[in-house]
Amino acid sequence: MRALIQRVNKAQVVVDGEMIGSIGAGMVILLGVAEDDTEWDARWLAQKSANLRIFHDGAGKMNLSLLDTGGEALIVSQFTLYGDCRRGRRPSFDKAAPPVQAEALYELFVQEMDKQGVRTATGQFQAMMNVALENNGPVTLLVESDGARPAKGKAKS
C-alpha cells in the first residue's frame, strides 16, 4: 500500500461540481492499494500516517504528528500510484488491486484513521475528482507498507 502524503493548510475534493469533503490544516493522503495488500497494510499505514512527525514544534522542527496537532486528513483513493511507467508511454496498472479489494482496504484505512482520533474527509471511490489543496512547506512524502510487512511465517509486531 502506498500513501503520498502532503502537509496542507487546507484542502477539498469536488465531484460533479459538488464539494464532498474538505479539511483545514493537516494532510492530504493519496492512497494506492496493490494487489497483494491485506488488512495488515491498511492498519499499519494508517498508524504510520497518523503518527508521522511532519508538523513544526515550537522550535520550528518537524517534530509533531497529526495527532499532536489535532490536524485533519483528506483521504483520496489513487490507483495511479501503482502506475508503472518504465516501459512504453502508457502506464501499466497491473500491480494495482482490483476495485472490490481496493475499496475495502481504502475504507479500512479511513476507519483506522478515525479510530485513532483523526478527523477525516474522503473523496469518492472510482469517481473523477478535483482535488484542490494549499501545500504547506511544501512537504510531500511517499510512505509504503511493503518494506514494513512481516515476512511470512514470522510473528507480527
Catalytic residue among 6, 78, 120, 122: 78
Q: Please tell me the distance from the alpha carbon of residue 49 to that of residue 148, in angstroms, as a whole number.
A: 13
- State the residue for C-alpha cell 486528513: 73
79 catalytic per annotation:
yes
Q: Please tell me the distance from the alpha carbon of residue 126 to that of residue 138, in angstroms, as a whole number.
A: 27
93 catalytic per annotation:
no
Q: Please tell me the distance from the alpha carbon of residue 36 to that of residue 59, in angstroms, as a whole number.
A: 41
Beta carbons of 74 and 21 less than 8 angstroms apart? yes
CA angle centred on 156, ends 71 and 44, rounded to 5°: 20
Q: Which helix (H) or strand (E) holds 135?
A: strand 130-144
Catalytic residue among 79, 109, 120, 122: 79
Q: Looking at this protein, which amino acid is placed at residue 133?
A: L
122 catalytic per annotation:
no
Q: Please tell me the distance from the alpha carbon of residue 115 to that of residue 73, in angstroms, as a whole number.
A: 13
For the annotated catalytic residues, the residue numbers are: 78-80
